[in-house]
Chains A and B, each alone.
Chain A
Amino acid sequence: AQKITQTQPGMFVQEKEAVTLDCTYDTSDPSYGLFWYKQPSSGEMIFLIYQGSYDQQNATEGRYSLNFQKARKSANLVISASQLGDSAMYFCAMREGDTSGTYKYIFGTGTRLKVLA
């Protein structure tokens, strides 16, 4: 069964510093996708970055990068040069491939990031 674990309920980071948000997953499907979403206090869910299980390189999108360690089943989000606007809840999510017979995306419990001035 698919599972996503985020072990950091809350994190603090100083403005302009980098921060890593942890995410581990479990699946027996060789094909899967991993996603990170940002949820600011206003409540919307914003897609940040995607990593496919067969991707050879770590995904990057601007200041966001994904540290993908397949053997460890981890997909940590790295935010470089943190800004005050990065303060939000961050969710890791996974979508298994079609061999699993499921089409749903499952989410971790989230990490609340606070950027300090």
Chain B
Amino acid sequence: EPEVTQTPSHQVTQMGQEVILRCVPISNHLYFYWYRQILGQKVEFLVSFYNNEISEKSEIFDDQFSVERPDGSNFTLKIRSTKLEDSAMYFCASSDQGGVGSPLHFGNGTRLTVT
């Protein structure tokens, strides 16, 4: 069964550094998302991406964050100048048609630790 792949599984970085989290969505999916989860709690929406542009972003997704689809397969989340409170599990997800009946398929997540 096709799956969403995220790398790395765990990233440790120092405060103020930049990190790039990588994702390969399911190949025939058209809608891509990033979510984060702090300490196993609420799953928070960050951004959605369709047709090579951001379709929606949350208030969390400020100028510190950016997303990119550099080629036909990868989808990346860049966090500039990381802060301690950016420590979280970051999930990439994709859906096929983007309609209300399309479930999100999640990757296994990247655990980001900012020290």
Chain A interface (Cβ < 8 Å from any Cβ of B): 31-33, 35, 37, 39, 43-47, 50, 52-53, 89, 91, 93, 95-98, 102-110
Determine whether B106 belongs to the interface, using a CB cutoff of 8 Å to chain A: yes
Distance, CA A105 to CA B58, complexed state (A): 12
Determine whether B104 belongs to the interface, using a CB cutoff of 8 Å to chain A: yes
Determine whether B91 belongs to the interface, using a CB cutoff of 8 Å to chain A: yes
Known: A32-B100, A35-B104, A104-B33. A43 touches B48 (CB 8 A): no
Interface contact B108-A44, CB-CB below 8 Å: yes
Determine whether B75 belongs to the interface, using a CB cutoff of 8 Å to chain A: no
Chain B interface (Cβ < 8 Å from any Cβ of A): 31, 33, 35, 40-45, 48, 50, 55-56, 58, 89, 91, 93, 98-106, 108-109, 111
Q: Which of A50, A91, A106 contacts B45, CB < 8 Å? A: A106
Interface contact B42-A105, CB-CB below 8 Å: no
Q: Smallest CB–CB gap between B109 and chain A, Å?
A: 6
Q: Smallest CB–CB gap between B53 and chain A, Å?
A: 12
Q: Smallest CB–CB gap between B21 and chain A, Å?
A: 15
Give the residues in chain A near B109, CB-CB below 8 Å.
43-45
